[in-house]
Structure 1
Amino acid sequence: MNEAESTAWKALEALPKRRLSELFADAGRVDALTAVLDLPGGPVRFDWSKTHLDAGLLSGFTALAEACDFDGRRAALFSGERINVTEDRAVQHTAQRGVGSEEAVDEAGALHARMRSLVEAIHGGLLGDVKHLIHIGIGGSALGPALAIDALTRDGAMCDVHVVSNIDGCALEAAFARCDPATTLVAVASKTFTTIETMTNAASALAWLGENGVADPYGRVIALTASPDKAVEWGVDETRVLPFSESVGGRYSLWSSIGFPVALALGWDEFASLLDGAAEMDRHFLTMDGAENLPLRAAFSDLMYTRLRGCQTRAVFAYDERLRLFPSYLQQLEMESNGKRVRADGSPVDGPTAPITWGGVGTDAQHAVFQLLHQGTVITPIDFIAAIQPGDALDPAHHRTLLTNCFAQGAALMAGRESDDPARAYPGDRPSATILCDEINAATLGALIAFHEHRTFAAGVLMGINSFDQFGVELGKEIARSIDAGGASFDASTTALLAAAGLG
């Protein structure tokens, strides 16, 4: 940490910690901490007034951003510099949406055209009768497609898509049970085309096709990869390989050919809308400065709670069934990106980094975990996400109850309630932010995901972290491979477990 950063942090730590009730004495607070972005999918309202951010903190974090050269790091991201220093790679997922270096944008456009041609050929019947797709991937190769398909196909889909990530065979068998082999394609999504969980599932899917009368199982496979040569070597026809760039990380890859199942399920125009919504958020993030930059403002809030108030978790509750997978998506995005203990230069981080991200869907979560949030001893900042327009055609009472519960929870967490009975007393002063969309559609979903991508990157910059590597996932995999290879020695507990399972 350089001297300017250290000075900025000391100034932030010296600021008074005020209660939300005190902050709301300012009649202009809601306007000052609320912003509405007009996005391709409709307006989205961001309200941080129920957080502990105030003018002093916003000013202090803006000074920290300047000390960390946030503007320079942001410019480096979009220009294609190799900001992933530990892997010596550029980070160019925004180019997939049309915002980035000219070369990267042109390359992404060409790869999208290739994917579009294949999607439209399938829809046109050129690959025969296709009714089902089993999409096999893991991590970012599965979470993004699963989220988008679950959120956007509630009114029907052009192709029935099943996303399988777990190596547990029960997951794959469940997909098999819902598909007719004669009308099923298999998408294999792996950046390296070596991921053991994905390739094991892919081999089993090919066996299932062959065992059920498909004469050429490999002819039913679409490969989504940054290693096209390995896909061809594995047996996929090169005309059915959809490449993407090495500079697109797995958890940022929905916008690339990893989005193939989304385009197949929704049609190309809807996939393009997903890209357009994300691109508009890219442009906002690229051009706005200081606290007017909403992903940066969100990062200010996140670091205020982890660094200045000692909060170890952050909860996300989507008051919309279509976004039920959003908290799971954010878990990987945030914890894999910023769950680090060293800075980009290899020096130790001198404070907390990513909180534990968790959450659920309203109103279910109110009857499960909100007891702790209201009266527990762990203070957890919360994001509520909701939409004004319902996703159903039932009695409007359904959606009215959903929204009133969402807004009531934020109000109750902040205000609390005194009582002579300690068991019925609510301390209040519990923070939340609200993201209120006009409606949930492809463009809005794209914007929401991009907002959180940039929020995560901004927090990483302010902590000096490289948000784009993930070496922490490798050690357990290496040990698993050594178990399979045999001959390795382990601690007594692991040895006993292996023996009990018949693996020793």
Structure 2
Amino acid sequence: MIAEPINVTQTREWKKLKQDYEDLQKQGISLKKWFKEDPDRVNKLSFDVADFHIDLSKNLVTDQIIQDLVALAKAMHVEGRRAQMFSGVHLNTTEDRAVLHTALRRPVSDEGELIVDGQDVVKDVHEVLDRMYAFANDVRLGKWQGVTGKKITDVVSIGIGGSDLGPVMVYEALKPYANAGIAVHYISNIDPNDAAEKLKGLDPETTLVIIVSKTFTTLETMTNAREVRTWLLKGLKAQGYTGSDADATKHHFVAVSTNLKAVADFGIDPNNAFGFWSWVGGRYSVDSAVGLSLIIAFGPKIFEDFLDGFHTMDTYFVNTPIEENAVMLMGLINVWYNNFFGAESHAILPYNQYLHRFPAYLQQLTMESNGKSTRWDGTPVTTKTGEIFWGEAGTNGQHAFYQLIHQGTHLIPADFIAFVNTKNPTKDGDQDIHELFLGNFLAQTKALAFGKTADEVRREGTAEWMVPARCFAGNRPTTSIFGTDLTPKTLGELIALYEHIVFVEGSIWGIDSFDQWGVELGKQLAKQITPAFHDDKALAEQDASTQALIRFYRAHRH
């Protein structure tokens, strides 16, 4: 039974943090001063977590504020809720489900069985993993072939939301590890342009299609699946195939789903369906069967390393006391900015081009999880919740939106992510380009923290009237997450880091971070509206604005 959420704003600890914030405003915030007065600040606020070095020292916190944030987490029973999540308690209250994405990466030998709702979930997970590994190896080695006997060279994965964002991000992040000569193409958008562009140049005879939909009823996914099936069957026939459509479908389509009847109705052999469980939310599912395309691209060993990274971070998070736990502290500091400073957005800035889809991945993870206005018992929230996550890779962002972060009127906390080593070391003359790149990573966090004073600008000979425009206030908070190498293991660690940050924030706010009812209404209305493009009776049932837009469509459709 889940206890009623505590009204966090009525706790002594919340009121103490409110006083901390007011005191800061009176005294003035100066990271430059704090660093000067406390030579040990960096050591106290730096943490070695798994394969990462995490530096929190450039955040707008003092020793007292950290102490008070830890006290708040204890008052809100975050540790107990953490234990409940790992043990399979039904924390997803609106759907009455356990929240067990951590079981997806738990080794069989780790602490024995985990029985939830009468099922040994770790055993279940590894049975599916073993089946996926065997299938992926068959595809990689050419034992699984297309209906005309040719080796698979391309995989098309069809999904949306968590069934797409995670696999796409990981595929892009780990491209240097693709070693089977098999390219993966991801289709998600119901816009026909997405499928058209992704299928260009592919050979139906050597293409395998994975349909990723737990229910096998997702509108976008199943619409795209039928479109791709039509493309593949037409293409095979154009190339001289004379066999049956049913045989071709069985050779070229597999499913990630638990709805075996719908899978069979589509024409896929249910033996080629790989399932996952109700306790896995879509945005937490990349390390489940949803990652089948990744196992084909990279192989089982790489995927095992990926899972090991998740588990390494899980172990750190669950076993480390709050006051020493960098993951806990990152979540608590986000609450500090959101609820006391009024910061509404959070920038994710990976200084690694392979992570260019990571900000988009985190948008779903964080905003779908914590974009809630009711608590887990159905009562209204008592604070602002959620953060608007956004970002861009590397120096690209510096030439786009960093201006606003440095000199704008919004406070935007930012996480900078970088790696000591690169897969592609290159020099420009004597200059190591990766070091030049990392120089930018370090320079940005330094500039945001410490700024540039008017006197410093004047000493450069700047005309007085231009001095204000060239000043940087500083005191713009950043967290530096520095790894050694971007590998399958460290990527798993990085994803799990943010999964647990989301959990900490949701626990403080008293919300269910694991449902997503906000996506449902639009889906329902889309089904009601679509007939109105051609049906006057359906059109008449719409609001005036929707009617006008549909009339515009009718008037201009070629």
The TM-score bracket by the shorter chain reads: over 0.9
Q: For residues 465-486 of structure 1, give each alpha carbon's deviation from its aligned partner in whole angstroms, at most 9, with x where no partner exists.
A: 1000000111111111111244
* Aligned partner (choices 550, 553, 558) of residue 498 of structure 1: 550
Q: Structure 1 residue 87 and structure 2 residue 98: aligned?
A: no
Distance, in Å, in 2 between the alignment partners of 1:281 and 1:34 is 17
Distance, in Å, in 2 between the alignment partners of 1:63 and 1:485 is 55
Q: Report the equivalent of 1:359.
A: 391
| Amino acid in the other structure paired with 1:202 | A
Aligned to 1:501, what secondary structure does the other structure show? helix
Q: Report the equivalent of 2:206.
A: 183
Q: Quick check: 1:342–1:349 contact (8 Å CA) kept in 2?
A: yes
Structure 2 CA distance for partners of 1:184 and 1:339, relative to 1, 3 Å: same
Q: Structure 1 residue 12 and structure 2 residue 17: aligned?
A: yes
Q: Report the equivalent of 1:218.
A: 249
Gaps of 5+ in 1: none
Distance, in Å, in 1 between the alignment partners of 2:286 and 2:63 is 36
Query: Could you tell me how far 1:493 is from its partner in structure 2?
Result: 1.6
Query: Could you tell me how far 1:155 is from its partner in structure 2?
Result: 5.6
Q: Report the equivalent of 1:425.
A: 471
Aligned to 2:11, what secondary structure does the other structure show? helix
Q: Structure 1 residue 322 and structure 2 residue 354: aligned?
A: yes
Whichever of the two has the greater Rg, that structure is 2
Distance, in Å, in 2 between the alignment partners of 1:157 and 1:252 is 26
Q: Report the equivalent of 1:29.
A: 41
Alignment of 1:303-322 (within 5 A): 303-322=335-354
Distance, in Å, in 2 between the alignment partners of 1:267 and 1:423 is 53
Query: Could you tell me how far 1:385 is from its partner in structure 2?
Result: 0.3
Distance, in Å, in 2 between the alignment partners of 1:217 and 1:138 is 25
If the length of structure 2 is used for normalisation, what is the TM-score?
0.87
Q: Report the equivalent of 2:274.
A: 242
Q: Report the equivalent of 2:6.
A: 2
Q: Report the equivalent of 2:148.
A: none
Distance, in Å, in 2 between the alignment partners of 1:193 and 1:348 is 33
Q: Report the equivalent of 1:441.
A: 487
Distance, in Å, in 2 between the alignment partners of 1:155 and 1:288 is 32
Alignment of 1:5-154 (within 5 A): 6-15=11-20, 16-17=23-24, 18-24=29-35, 25-37=37-49, 39=50, 43-98=51-106, 101-102=114-115, 103-128=120-145, 129-154=151-176
Q: Quick check: 1:78–1:101 contact (8 Å CA) kept in 2?
A: no
Distance, in Å, in 1 between the alignment partners of 2:481 and 2:425 is 23
Distance, in Å, in 1 between the alignment partners of 2:256 and 2:54 is 35
Q: Quick check: 1:228–1:243 contact (8 Å CA) kept in 2?
A: no
Q: For residues 295-341 of structure 1, give each alpha carbon's deviation from its aligned partner in whole angstroms, at most 9, with x where no partner exists.
A: 21110110010011110100011100011111000000000000111
Distance, in Å, in 2 between the alignment partners of 1:170 and 1:3 is 47
Q: For residues 402-444 of structure 1, give each alpha carbon's deviation from its aligned partner in whole angstroms, at most 9, with x where no partner exists.
A: 1000110000011111234211111111110010010000000
Structure 2 CA distance for partners of 1:455 and 1:226, relative to 1, 3 Å: farther
| Amino acid in the other structure paired with 2:84 | A
Q: Report the equivalent of 2:460.
A: none
Q: Quick check: 1:20–1:52 contact (8 Å CA) kept in 2?
A: yes
Q: Quick check: 1:226–1:246 contact (8 Å CA) kept in 2?
A: no
| Amino acid in the other structure paired with 2:497 | F
RMSD value over aligned CA atoms? 1.7
| Amino acid in the other structure paired with 1:173 | A
Q: Quick check: 2:90–2:99 contact (8 Å CA) kept in 1?
A: yes
Aligned to 2:52, what secondary structure does the other structure show? strand
Distance, in Å, in 2 between the alignment partners of 1:237 and 1:2 is 49
Q: Quick check: 1:70–1:461 contact (8 Å CA) kept in 2?
A: yes
Q: Report the equivalent of 2:219.
A: 196
Q: Quick check: 1:206–1:217 contact (8 Å CA) kept in 2?
A: no
Query: Could you tell me how far 1:501 is from its partner in structure 2?
Result: 1.1
* Aligned partner (choices 506, 528, 546) of residue 460 of structure 1: 506
Q: Quick check: 2:425–2:434 contact (8 Å CA) kept in 1?
A: no
Distance, in Å, in 1 between the alignment partners of 2:6 and 2:189 is 43
Query: Could you tell me how far 1:152 is from its partner in structure 2?
Result: 0.7
| Amino acid in the other structure paired with 1:23 | W
Gaps of 5+ in 2: 108-112, 146-150, 455-463, 533-537
Out of 228-237 and 399-408, give the one that drifted further.
Answer: 228-237
Structure 2 CA distance for partners of 1:293 and 1:389, relative to 1, 3 Å: same
Alignment of 1:322-361 (within 5 A): 322-361=354-393
Out of 129-138 and 228-237, give the one that drifted further.
Answer: 228-237
Aligned to 1:154, what secondary structure does the other structure show? helix
If the length of structure 1 is used for normalisation, what is the TM-score?
0.96
Q: Quick check: 1:278–1:446 contact (8 Å CA) kept in 2?
A: yes
| Amino acid in the other structure paired with 2:544 | A
Query: Could you tell me how far 1:114 is from its partner in structure 2?
Result: 1.1
Q: For residues 266-317 of structure 1, give each alpha carbon's deviation from its aligned partner in whole angstroms, at most 9, with x where no partner exists.
A: 0110001000000000111111111322221110110010011110100011
Query: Could you tell me how far 1:3 is from its partner in structure 2?
Result: 6.5
Structure 2 CA distance for partners of 1:3 and 1:312, relative to 1, 3 Å: closer
Aligned to 1:496, what secondary structure does the other structure show? helix
Percent identity over the alignment?
A: 37
